[in-house]
């Protein structure tokens, strides 16, 4: 009986050590998940106003929430491990499961939106650019379109001719411009009055292709981070169950 208790205690110590190492890694992973979410929202959100669906934004928010919960859970996990409190281990396991589900959901949303992105952009981007650009109350769209055309060196949704349908161009408020100044290779006030290829960007596929590639790259990052961390958490849940069982055996 003494030999059994000694083996059980040794196993418990090993499990505690493994779970502690896991919690340290887990805390850092939570920081990484939160950083990816904040990075997406703060630095890569300029084009969100051009998207009809809120899925891209929702996926980033889920990662931020999951990252915060992961960091809090990592601290709780350390307390549960060293205090050997089974009630804390139960709570820790439930939180791990909750985070696991959140990150799987974020990964699934990223994958689904990845598949739907091309159709959404083809259906909505031209209307957004031509009907909201330089219109009252849509300053965010105007800024996003200007940045999109300059950063990706494109003009119009499919091509520069899309701007012929622009409400701003047709209204007469454009000052004789046929395209926005942001279409120009060298931006100066009024340069959009001439749409020759030597003056503006004429890119095959227009801005749709450029924006689609950009967002898909970030969706791949979001999806990979979400699913990758979720897989790592499976080990944490296994270690937690083993430690819980080991403490139960020692109790008896």
pLDDT tier at 91, thresholds 50, 70, 90: confident
As given in the structure block, the two tokens for residue 1 are: 């009986």
> What span, in angstroms and rounded, lies between the C-alpha atoms of 245 and 86?
9
The tokens of 220 are what?
């791949």
Residue 48: name the closest of 112, 137, 117 by CA: 117
Q: Tell me, what's the pLDDT at 1?
A: 41
- Listed in sequence order, the residues at least 6 apart from 127 whose beta carbon sits closer than 8 Å to its beta carbon are none
Q: What is the pLDDT of residue 45?
A: 67
Contact 63, 226 (CB under 8 A): yes
Q: What is the pLDDT of residue 6?
A: 44
């Amino acid at each position: 009986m003494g030999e059994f208790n000694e083996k059980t205690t040794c196993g418990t110590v090993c499990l505690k050590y493994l779970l502690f190492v896991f919690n340290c890694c887990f805390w850092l992973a939570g920081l990484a998940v939160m950083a990816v979410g904040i990075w997406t929202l703060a630095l890569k959100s300029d084009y969100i106003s051009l998207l009809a669906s809120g899925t891209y934004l929702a996926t980033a928010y889920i990662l931020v929430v999951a990252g915060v919960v992961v960091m809090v859970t990592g601290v709780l996990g350390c307390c549960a491990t060293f205090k050997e409190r089974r009630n804390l281990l139960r709570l820790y396991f439930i939180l791990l499961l909750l985070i696991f589900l959140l990150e799987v959901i974020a990964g699934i949303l990223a994958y689904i939106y990845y598949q739907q992105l091309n159709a959404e952009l083809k259906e909505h981007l031209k209307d957004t650019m031509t009907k909201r650009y330089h219109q009252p109350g849509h300053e965010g769209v105007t800024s996003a379109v200007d940045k999109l055309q300059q950063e990706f060196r494109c003009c119009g949704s499919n091509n520069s001719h899309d701007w012929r349908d622009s409400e701003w161009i047709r209204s007469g408020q454009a000052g004789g411009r046929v395209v926005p100044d942001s279409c120009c290779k060298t931006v100066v006030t009024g340069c959009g009055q001439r749409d020759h290829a030597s003056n503006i960007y004429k890119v095959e596929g227009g801005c749709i292709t450029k924006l689609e590639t950009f967002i898909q790259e970030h969706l791949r990052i979001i999806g990979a981070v979400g699913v990758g961390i979720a897989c790592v958490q499976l080990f944490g849940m296994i270690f937690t169950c083993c430690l819980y069982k080991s403490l139960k055996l020692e109790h008896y």
